[in-house]
Chains A and B, each alone.
Chain A
Amino acid sequence: MKVDINISKEVKEPYVVIHTNEMTNEISDLANSISEMSASSSGGRLIGNVDDRMIVLEADTISVIRVDNEKVYVVSDGTSYRVNKRMYELLDMLGKDFMQVSKSASINLKFLKSVEPYFNGVMVLNLKDGEKEYISRKYVPALKKYLGI
Chain B
Amino acid sequence: MKSSTIVKDIVKSTVISILMSTFIFVIVGVIFDQIGKGTFTTSNYGFTKMVLACVFTGLGFGVPTFLYSMENIPMFLASIIHLGIGFTVYFFVASQVGWIPKQAGTVASVCTIVGVIVVGLIIWGCFLKYNKNLADRMNKALEQR
Contacts and interface: CB of A to CB of B under 8 A. Distances in A.
A120 interface: yes
A143 B78 contact: no
Interface string B52-90: 000000000000010011010001101100100000000
Majority SS at the chain A contact face: mixed
Interface residues of B, number: 23
Contact of B139 (A114, A118, A121, A138): A114
Contacts of B75: 118-120, 122, 134
A113 interface: yes
A120 B78 CA distance: 10
Given A103-B1, A138-B5, A121 B138 contact: no
B134 interface: yes
B137 interface: yes
B3 to A, nearest CB: 12
Interface residues of A, number: 25
Contacts of A138: 1, 5, 9, 69
B78 A115 contact: no
Interface string A93-134: 000000000111000000011111111111100000000001
B84 to A, nearest CB: 14
Given A103-B71, A104-B71, A138-B1, A121 B141 contact: no
Interface in B1-55: 1, 5, 9
A51 B84 CA distance: 45
Contacts of B128: 117
A122 B68 contact: yes
A115 B71 contact: no
A136 B139 CA distance: 17
Contact of B68 (A113, A120, A143, A144): A120
- The 10 A-B pairs with the shortest beta carbon distances in the complex, nearest first, are A147-B141, A117-B131, A115-B138, A119-B75, A117-B135, A115-B135, A117-B132, A119-B79, A120-B68, A114-B139
Interface of B: 1, 5, 9, 65, 68-69, 71, 75-76, 78-79, 82, 127-128, 131-132, 134-135, 137-139, 141-142
10 contacts: A112-B142, A115-B135, A115-B142, A119-B68, A119-B78, A120-B75, A120-B82, A121-B68, A138-B5, A147-B141
